[in-house]
Structure 1
């Protein structure tokens, strides 16, 4: 396919296309591997299973932070663990559970934005791959038609015209194959990216659910403007 009509008629465009396609696949495979590692954080026993355990006191917060430190070498590299660490570290400066919930929501939006930014290069590649294919098609058409036009202008014989037409059809085949390769590559990358992106979005939703279930619902804070305690299990 890349050497249609002989090596002298080869086009270098498909090589650039496959280079970008391979680069894109490598990025997606790395993202898939990282996502698998991130999901392992959801299985860690960070919060005691005791139903009566409540977060709020320095001792309870320290217990959870120690659990995180003991089960992860670098918690800052895990989205869920980093989100919990940031929230609990600032818990003493928070007066209401609604403030904690807003802080978690804000961090979730930041994580979502960071995830979205990782697709910038891939989106550029998906745009560039079919564009390269169309460029290859235009080059192939110009060469094929140009060669035929030269034979016609020289007033060649019928046999020469027939031979020239054969070369033109071969050139057209090469030109359109270039676009076909690019479109197939772009389609495969787009489908793979969509699949991994949906898995990442599901993971971020799982992180938010985890934080609500094990952090918000376990909170028990003393509002500095009130004398009683506010509990996350009360639907605050």
Structure 2
């Protein structure tokens, strides 16, 4: 049964295959390329002579990582924060009464919320710092294992892809291994050093944006702690104002006036102490957050340098194919030649009735 396709020019479903990849419409007489055939021909690749591994075989990608590079789960940090907060308040309960203990325990619920959120932020930053130390150690071990000393062609790239994809999940989630895997897969499909450089540049910008976005929760904590302090201030001032109205009502009695003044000062104490606690805890979060983010940016710069020195400088696109036809230009030339042949065949068919 003859296959038919819809002509993109006249819209009639009267186009038939003149030859592989080329269709000719019987209604309008125009020829066009089959999109699927053209795409497969354009990216057609030739196996390397003597290479037992056909480069056209599927690339082993391994198990996908559960998390993106640079991502740290907030749930374990929350668990550590709850435990740390409980331990902190347990120690405060064992210590003698002091001004510091009153700041955390005698000013309502706001200090408890400030302490919990602050410990959550600090535990999250500690987890990020721990992950950064692991990634820095992995980068120092040279993930390419000496391949950087020799030219890296498509066959070697495929072997490295399989090796890197088999690494433990914690290492595959690192910036350097993820960057190497993506770059090597790109090179194995399109062995063009110029394209790989552009691809790496885009990956670098994407990692920078990913790191910046990963600090969104920490920024929320930095915003929430002073906000809670302001809420405590409002609650304290409201309590003081209510106590002051009671003071005016009890002005006739000295004892009643003393009691009402105590409620006023207590409310003002809540207002100022919660503000003080919130400001101090904000500082304790902001300094570590800034330091960890700077370390992470330094790690990304080190990954960029490593990929440039150990990977880009060793890529060998000439050794990726021994067949000069394995190039985009040659593929386009083959398609053009087929199209010309189809046009000539169509012209000859149209000229035959005139000769008759």
Category of TM-score, reference length = shorter chain: 0.7 to 0.9
Query: Aligned in 2, Cα 1:23/1:15: closer, same or farther, shift over 3 Å?
Result: same
Within the alignment, does 1:96 sit opposite 2:199 as a pair? no
Aligned to 1:224: 327
After TM superposition, give the deviation of residue 35 of structure 1 in Å.
1.1
User: What residue number does 1:17 align with?
Assistant: 114
Q: Normalised by the size of structure 2, how large is the TM-score?
A: 0.56
Using the size of structure 1 for normalisation, the TM-score is: 0.82
Larger gyration radius, structure 1 or structure 2 = 2
Higher relative CO (Cα under 8 Å, sequence separation at least 6) belongs to 1
Distance 1:65 1:12, change over 3 A: same
1:41-190 correspondence runs (5 A) = 41-45=138-142, 46-48=144-146, 51=149, 53-58=150-155, 60-65=156-161, 68=164, 72-74=167-169, 75-158=171-254, 160-190=256-286
SS at match of 2:224: helix
Give the root-mean-square deviation of aligned CA atoms: 2.7
* Separation of aligned partners in 1, 2:246 and 2:224: 33
Higher share in helix: 1
- How far is 1:25 from its partner? 0.9
Query: 1:3 deviation in Å?
Result: 7.6
Aligned residues: 222
Determine if contact 2:239/2:263 at 8 Å carries over to the other structure: no
Match of 1:32 in 2: 129
Gaps of 5+ in 2: 1-98, 319-325, 331-356
Residue ranges of structure 1 left out of the alignment (5+ in a row): 228-236
Q: CA deviation at 1:193?
A: 0.5
1:133-191 deviation per Cα after TM superposition (whole angstroms, max 9, x unaligned): 11111111111221121221344345544553344234312320111111111111011
Instruction: Name the CA distance, whole Å, in 2 between partners of 1:186 and 1:17.
Output: 9
Report if aligned partners of 2:107, 2:274 keep a CA contact under 8 Å in 1. Answer: no
